[in-house]
């Protein structure tokens, strides 16, 4: 391993980053931090036709949210950067000039050539190859014909520069995960390295930048395995030693097909919107293709850094299991410090609650509510559903829910009215007192405790599924509970025609 590990995350801003893309960033970040190296962010924005407004900001925001800090790269919306190896945008004129210079060098050395094929000619070429049962690829028709350059330019044909690939033998490289891999050179074509708009393709640009930025290791998606022979040829043509390559396993959906939107959210920022915690998503993504052993699943950030190694990255695809992610997020929520979770819940409720609930929210009051729901929360997005009845008295439920199994209509009315009187006489409104008195009331009414408690749960919360009844009532307070029971009595009388 080189003395200094330098890795890069080099996304193309052609869309919002998906989890597979960010998993690549995470593995690079962990490798850098484990080896006390540098993690560089570089924006590969040479595919001008596919650029998406806001994509670069979304990429950087995704990294920030997950806590993947970078040592070099863009740091602001105004093109600000940090690091000694910039610029970190490939579209920067300084970078473009360097790509053009290297492409011209390869031309002059006979290792690349001008190609003037029109889009129509390329399309006809592919169709003819497919008709003959051949794999579609460029057939090298403009290789070795510089005498026609003036004619083609006079015709106004688009010009690209193609690399002159080897036509015989094989290209072999060592992958740090998969071992030695070989490709027959006859299967490769003369690929474009500089497009007609003057921008380089990925094949040329990333090699030049990796060299300029002293990148030691390239950890990237396995879809680039088949392109690596091309990259090795370019390194050889330029007389450069390539960095070490490691191609990460593909992420699959539960049906073992490539992960896509039909499997659920695929954007990291979508998961933030849904209420996942960054530390839980980081933990989950780290286990997509890497493992420490066959049993440990929960890791702190520091433990991931301590244990991460390329040797423990799997070759086979990793299954993205949304249910497991939700379970893991619940584990993290249950383990959170209550005050920290209260802050997160307040932020979520401030955004999700209806406008009629007054702001600012009472954080001290919510500090008593959150411990009651902490064990049931799997996503922060569930905060409103589990806590709204603590904050709004506009309870909406079907009156029939007040009637418990084997209870009569008169018995339900009696339970509500007796409970109202009982609560009014309590010396204090703590959970212990509530439980003692209400259990005694159920015995007095000769009904099961579950029947009384079920009716009161609906009356006080509007829901069958609520936190522990007595603790909930204690937090709601005496007056609020009595008001809600009084409204339940009116509702029940109206529903049963007992007005």
Catalytic residues: 261
Helix, coil or strand: residue 200: strand
| Token pair belonging to 150 | 């003036």
Phi-psi region of 133 (alpha: psi -120 to 50; beta: other; left: phi over 0): left
Closest CA to 13 of 90, 83, 126: 90
Q: Sheet of 112-115: strands edge to edge?
A: 112-115, 160-163, 192-194
Report residue 197: phi and psi, to 5°: -85, 5
Question: What are the b/e assignments for 433-471, b being 16+ CB within 10 Å?
Answer: ebbebbeebbeeeebeeebbbbbbbbbbbbbeebbebbb
C-alpha span between 56 and 59 (Å, rounded): 5
Q: Checking DSSP bridges between strand 160-163 and strand 112-115, what pairing results, if any?
A: antiparallel
**What is the pairing mode between strands 170-175 and 81-82?**
unpaired
Buried b (16+ CB within 10 A) or exposed e, 387-412: bbbbbeeebebeeebbbbeebeeebb
Q: 207: Cβ–Cβ under 8 A, 6 or more apart, which residues?
A: 231, 234, 235, 238, 240, 242
**Closest-CA residue to 40 (of 76, 62, 65, 11):** 11
- Residue 345's Cβ-count burial label (10 Å; 0-12, 13-18, 19+) is buried
User: Cα dist. 125→33, 92, 268 in Å?
Assistant: 48, 35, 40
Helices 93-108 and 228-238 cross at an angle (nearest 10°) of 80
Based on C-alpha coordinates, what's the Rg of the chain? 32
252: its two tokens: 């699959």
Q: Over 98-111, what HEC string results?
A: HHHHHHHHHHHCCC
Tokens, residue 461: 């919360």
Q: HSE-up of 118 (CA within 13 Å, CB side)?
A: 8
């Amino acid at each position: 391993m080189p003395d200094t590990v330098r890795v890069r995350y080099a996304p193309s801003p052609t869309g919002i980053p998906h989890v597979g893309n960010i998993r690549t960033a995470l593995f690079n970040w962990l490798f850098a931090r484990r080896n006390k190296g540098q993690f560089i962010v570089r924006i590969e924005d040479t595919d001008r036709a596919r650029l998406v407004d806001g994509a670069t900001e979304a990429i950087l925001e995704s990294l920030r949210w997950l806590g993947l800090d970078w040592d070099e790269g863009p740091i602001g919306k105004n093109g600000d950067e940090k690091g000694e190896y910039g610029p970190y945008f490939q579209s920067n004129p300084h970078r473009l000039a360097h790509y053009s210079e290297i492409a011209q060098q390869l031309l002059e050395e006979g290792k690349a050539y001008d190609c003037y094929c029109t889009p129509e000619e390329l399309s006809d070429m592919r169709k003819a190859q497919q008709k003959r049962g051949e794999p579609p690829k460029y057939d090298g028709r403009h290789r070795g014909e510089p005498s026609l350059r003036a004619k083609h330019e006079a015709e106004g044909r688009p010009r690209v520069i193609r690399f002159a690939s080897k036509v015989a033998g094989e290209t072999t490289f060592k992958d740090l995960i998969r071992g030695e891999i070989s490709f027959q050179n006859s299967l490769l074509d003369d690929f474009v390295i500089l497009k007609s708009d003057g921008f380089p393709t990925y094949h040329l640009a990333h090699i030049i930048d990796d060299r300029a930025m002293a990148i030691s290791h390239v950890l990237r998606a396995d879809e680039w395995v088949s392109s690596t022979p091309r990259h090795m040829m370019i390194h050889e043509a330029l007389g450069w030693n390539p960095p070490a390559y490691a191609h990460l396993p593909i992420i699959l959906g539960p049906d073992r097909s490539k992960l896509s939107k039909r499997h659920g959210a695929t954007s990291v920022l979508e998961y933030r919107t849904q209420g996942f915690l960054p530390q839980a998503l980081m933990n989950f993504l780290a286990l997509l293709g890497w493992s420490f052993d066959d049993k440990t699943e929960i890791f702190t950030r520091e433990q991931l850094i301590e244990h991460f190694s390329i040797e423990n990255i799997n070759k086979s695809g990793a299954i993205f299991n949304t249910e497991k992610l939700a379970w893991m997020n619940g584990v993290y929520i249950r383990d959170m410090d209550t005050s920290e979770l209260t802050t997160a819940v307040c932020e979520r409720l401030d955004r999700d609650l209806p406008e009629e609930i007054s702001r600012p929210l009472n954080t001290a009051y919510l500090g008593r509510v959150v411990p009651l729901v902490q064990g049931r929360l799997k996503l922060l997005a569930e905060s409103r559903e589990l806590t709204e009845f603590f904050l709004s008295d506009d309870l909406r439920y079907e009156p029939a829910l007040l009637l418990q199994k084997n209870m009569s209509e008169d018995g339900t009315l009696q339970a509500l009215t007796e409970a109202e009187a009982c609560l009014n006489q309590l010396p204090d409104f703590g959970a212990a007192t509530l439980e003692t008195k209400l259990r005694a009331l159920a015995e007095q009414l000769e009904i099961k405790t579950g029947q009384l408690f079920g009716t009161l749960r609906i009356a006080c919360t509007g829901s069958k599924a609520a936190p522990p009844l007595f603790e909930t009532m204690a937090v709601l307070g005496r007056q609020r509970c009595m008001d809600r029971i009084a409204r339940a009595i009116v509702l029940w009388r109206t529903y049963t025609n007992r007005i």
